[in-house]
Amino acid sequence: MNLAKVWNSTLGTMQIQISRHEFNTWLRRATLISLENGVATIGAPSAFFKEGLENRYIGPLRELIGNLVGFPVQVRVIIAPPAPVAAEHRLASREYGKDDDMPDLDESPGYAAANAQQGYVPANGYANGASNGSGMHNGNGNGNGYDRLNMQQLEFSSAMRSGMLNARYTFDRFIVGSSNRLANAACMAVAEHPAHAYNPLFLYGGVGLGKTHLLHAIGNYALDRDPEINVLYVSSEKFTNDLINAIRRQQTEEFRIRYRNIDILLIDDIQFIAGKESTQEEFFHTFNTLHSAGKQIVISSDRPPKAILTLEERLRSRFEWGLIVDVQTPDLETRTAILRAKAEQMSTHIPAEVIDFLAHRIQSNIRELEGCLNRVAAYAQLIGAPVSTEVATAALNELLDTTRRKRVTTEAILREVAEFYGVDLRAMQGRGRSRNIVVPRQVAMYLLRVETDSSLMDIGQMLGGRDHTTVIYGCEKIGEEINSDSRLRQEVVTIRDRLYQRAA
Ligand SMILES: Nc1ncnc2c1ncn2[C@@H]1O[C@H](COP(=O)(O)OP(=O)(O)OP(=O)(O)O)[C@@H](O)[C@H]1O
């Protein structure tokens, strides 16, 4: 039994099933220590993490490991700090920089409690996201030496450029298609002419579509051209945590010096500062200082400024000063190109038909595309077979179908679709044929078909007593249109994301 393979494969699945924050917080530093006599022993870095793992993930881990090894297992968690370079047992976190600002020293429950007492709860819901330091890049950094994770199959160079910029996130490695062409061009312009092209540049789009990649690409590009330039990449959560720590340690002056002496500020996921008054206040002054000094600011968010509720008006208006550009969900061609590029970087051979299969099957976002590709490669390695469409089907069925189908109910789909399109649920389930009802109804048919085990007949019954040919027509229509109509694709992806968020 190869422990590393079992653990990599387990993590690969978990990485897709739970949010990135959860994964990075709880599982990233766990290791599978042994698998003997039907007991899988998992090592957690501290008592805090041991308890977190036990409370949250024993069930899913038991199921996943059991499925992989082919017999039922019990899961036991013990405290065992990971060995320094146990790369085999680790999994690549593909979001370097953003979530790798894991607490080094302040990860104890005591810290969490301290934050909670002050009323500061990081946006990821875990009161443990302490600061790691500056994250400032002036071309002289040495890498931060954090406990990085590394999935064997990927064999990516995961070198972090001068600390917090991921050297892998460059323009060269960013595949451009119709969904991200504008965003890519705007970022390129900013990287070439900081503070002269668009300032600020505000980038928004759904999860896993490449916003972070583009922010890092700007930083990497600018540093290549001028190694003396000061580039700071920071998530808004880290900004918040740094501020909290600075206030706690009475070091707000240092905080200001650090954040206001930058040539290019790249701030990720700004939506998380919504509702946080003192963070907004501080960010407002940081923004003004930088902007009036002719420094570049690039901001990313999951939605446009107008849609960030509880964002102070003065910040919102500043975000709208420059250029606002969105990143959309990728079309089939772009998904295929991205998969091809990722597959080339892997040691496992991925045949063209598997790429095609994955590109058709995974429509939501690029992180999920990557995750599924990794999962398929890991699964093939585990069962000792070459990657094929059958292997990919088996790997993904287990992943996408079983777990999701269990969680998402037909009622939830109907409700979510009706709510999303703002139509009356009863009308959607009725006989009416007005256009504003027909599209939501077909989307519901499609999602019921893809996300649940409902039969065509059942789906027809749920949606106005229609026969199964009408349901097939509706499903096929949406299935085809989402490949060419980016707006419809985004709508379906958003509904699905909401469903999973609620079901999680
Ligand atoms: N066009 C692309 N070409 C190649 N890789 C991409 C592309 N877009 C995204 N990726 C990859 O997909 C993964 C997810 O991208 P990224 O983290 O940048 O998404 P994001 O939009 O910041 O997501 P979130 O909103 O969740 O923070 C990364 O590994 C990134 O390198």
Could you read off the pLDDT of 321-352 as tens digits, one per residue? 999 999 998 999 999 999 999 999 888 899 99
With a 6 A CB cut-off, is 329 part of the ligand 1 pocket?
no
Residues 6 or more apart whose CB falls under 8 angstroms from that of 96 comprise 148, 158, 160, 164, 166, 168, 169
The residue from 79, 108, 126 where one domain ends is: 79
From residue 386, how far is each of 336, 375, 376, 422 by CA, in Å? Answer: 20, 13, 10, 47
pLDDT tens digits, one per residue of 458-481: 999 999 999 888 998 998 888 888
- pLDDT of residue 212 exceeding 90: yes
Structure-token pair, residue 35:
């698998």
Q: Look at residue 33 and give its three-state secondary structure.
A: strand
What are the binding residues? 208, 210-212
CA dihedral 333, 337, 343, 349 (to 10 degrees): 70
Residues 6 or more apart whose CB falls under 8 angstroms from that of 151 comprise 8, 11, 12, 90, 91, 92, 374, 378
**Between residues 369 and 131, the one the model is more confident about:** 369
Q: 471 CA distance to ligand 1 centroid (A)?
A: 34
Quote the percentage of the chain above a pLDDT of 90: 33
With a 6 A CB cut-off, is 335 part of the ligand 1 pocket?
no
pLDDT tens digits, one per residue of 161-189: 344 788 889 999 999 998 999 999 999 99
By CB atoms closer than 10 A (0-12, 13-18, 19+), residue 202 is: buried
Mutate to test the pocket of ligand 1, among 16, 124, 156, 209 (most ligand atoms within 8 A of CB): 209
* Most distant pair of Cα atoms in the chain: their distance: 69
In a domain, residue 488? The reply is: yes
Helices 58-69, 47-56: inter-axial angle, 10-degree rounding:
70
For position 81, what pLDDT does the model report? 65
In a domain, residue 10? The reply is: yes
53 φ, ψ to 5°? -65, -45
**Between residues 59 and 125, the one the model is more confident about:** 59
Query: What pLDDT band is residue 95 in, cutting at 50, 70 and 90?
Result: very low
Least confident of 18-22, 301-305, 344-348: 18-22
As for how many domains the chain has, the answer is: 4
Q: 467 CA distance to ligand 1 centroid (A)?
A: 41
For position 494, what pLDDT does the model report? 83
81 φ, ψ to 5°? -55, 140
Q: 377 CA distance to ligand 1 centroid (A)?
A: 20
Are 420 and 455 in a shared domain? yes
The residue from 18, 50, 79 where one domain ends is: 79
Amino acid identity of 86?
Answer: A
**Between residues 428 and 274, the one the model is more confident about:** 428
Mean pLDDT of the chain: 78
For position 140, what pLDDT does the model report? 35
Distance CA 353, CA 429 (A): 38
Are 224 and 268 in a shared domain? yes
In a domain, residue 121? The reply is: no
Q: What is the pTM of this model?
A: 0.59
With a 6 A CB cut-off, is 371 part of the ligand 1 pocket?
no
From residue 360, how far is each of 160, 336, 357, 373, 456 by CA, in Å? Answer: 32, 8, 5, 13, 21
Q: What is the CATH number of the domain that holds 55?
A: 3.30.300.180
Considering only CA atoms, which residue is closest to atom 1 of ligand 1? 175
* Residues 268, 300 contacting (CB under 8 angstroms): yes
* Residues 317, 202 contacting (CB under 8 angstroms): no
In a domain, residue 438? The reply is: yes
Q: Minimal CA–CA distance to 86: which of 30, 154, 139?
A: 30
Are 465 and 414 in a shared domain? yes
By CB atoms closer than 10 A (0-12, 13-18, 19+), residue 344 is: exposed
Least confident of 41-45, 282-286, 421-425, 488-492: 488-492
In a domain, residue 437? The reply is: yes
For position 301, what pLDDT does the model report? 93
Q: Where are the alpha helices (DSSP H) in 142-273?
A: 181-192, 211-225, 236-248, 252-260
**Between residues 1 and 266, the one the model is more confident about:** 266
For position 487, what pLDDT does the model report? 84
Considering only CA atoms, which residue is closest to atom 29 of ligand 1? 94
- pLDDT of residue 259 exceeding 70: yes
With a 6 A CB cut-off, is 210 part of the ligand 1 pocket?
yes
Domain of 389 in residue numbering reads as 332-404
Are 247 and 356 in a shared domain? no
Are 451 and 367 in a shared domain? no
Least confident of 73-82, 113-122, 488-497: 113-122
By CB atoms closer than 10 A (0-12, 13-18, 19+), residue 354 is: buried
For position 158, what pLDDT does the model report? 30
For position 275, what pLDDT does the model report? 80
For position 96, what pLDDT does the model report? 31
For position 411, what pLDDT does the model report? 93
For position 63, what pLDDT does the model report? 83
In a domain, residue 185? The reply is: yes
Mutate to test the pocket of ligand 1, among 366, 374, 497, 500 (most ligand atoms within 8 A of CB): 366
β-partners of residue 300 are: 203
Q: What is the CATH number of the domain that holds 254?
A: 3.40.50.300
For position 400, what pLDDT does the model report? 61
Least confident of 31-45, 198-212, 216-230, 398-412: 398-412
Q: 94 CA distance to ligand 1 centroid (A)?
A: 9
- Ligand 1 atom, smallest distance to 176 CA: 1
Q: 129 CA distance to ligand 1 centroid (A)?
A: 22
Query: What pLDDT band is residue 213 in, cutting at 50, 70 and 90?
Result: very high
Query: What pLDDT band is residue 248 in, cutting at 50, 70 and 90?
Result: confident
* Residues 204, 303 contacting (CB under 8 angstroms): yes
Query: What pLDDT band is residue 121 in, cutting at 50, 70 and 90?
Result: very low
End-to-end CA distance of the chain: 31
Q: What is the ipTM score, two decimals? A: 0.98
Structure-token pair, residue 65:
């490991």
With a 6 A CB cut-off, is 369 part of the ligand 1 pocket?
no
Q: 185 CA distance to ligand 1 centroid (A)?
A: 16
Structure-token pair, residue 346:
């892997």
For position 261, what pLDDT does the model report? 86
In a domain, residue 130? The reply is: no
What are the binding residues for ATP? 208, 210-212
**Assign residue 141 a region: left if phi > 0, alpha if psi is -120 to 50, beta otherwise?**
beta
Q: What is the CATH number of the domain that holds 454?
A: 1.10.1750.10
Are 459 and 485 in a shared domain? yes
Are 353 and 295 in a shared domain? no
With a 6 A CB cut-off, is 203 part of the ligand 1 pocket?
no
Are 399 and 418 in a shared domain? no
Are 197 and 318 in a shared domain? yes
In a domain, residue 178? The reply is: yes
- pLDDT of residue 453 exceeding 80: no
Q: Which residues of 92-112 are buried (b: 16+ CB within 10 A; e: fewer)?
A: bbbbbbbbbbbbeebbeeebb
**Between residues 68 and 387, the one the model is more confident about:** 387
Q: What is the CATH number of the domain that holds 355?
A: 1.10.8.60
Least confident of 89-103, 267-281, 428-442: 89-103
Are 289 and 395 in a shared domain? no
Considering only CA atoms, which residue is closest to atom 8 of ligand 1? 210
Are 437 and 389 in a shared domain? no
- pLDDT of residue 439 exceeding 90: yes
For position 129, what pLDDT does the model report? 29
The residue from 20, 46, 79 where one domain ends is: 79
* Residues 29, 49 contacting (CB under 8 angstroms): yes
Are 271 and 377 in a shared domain? no
With a 6 A CB cut-off, is 102 part of the ligand 1 pocket?
no
For position 462, what pLDDT does the model report? 93
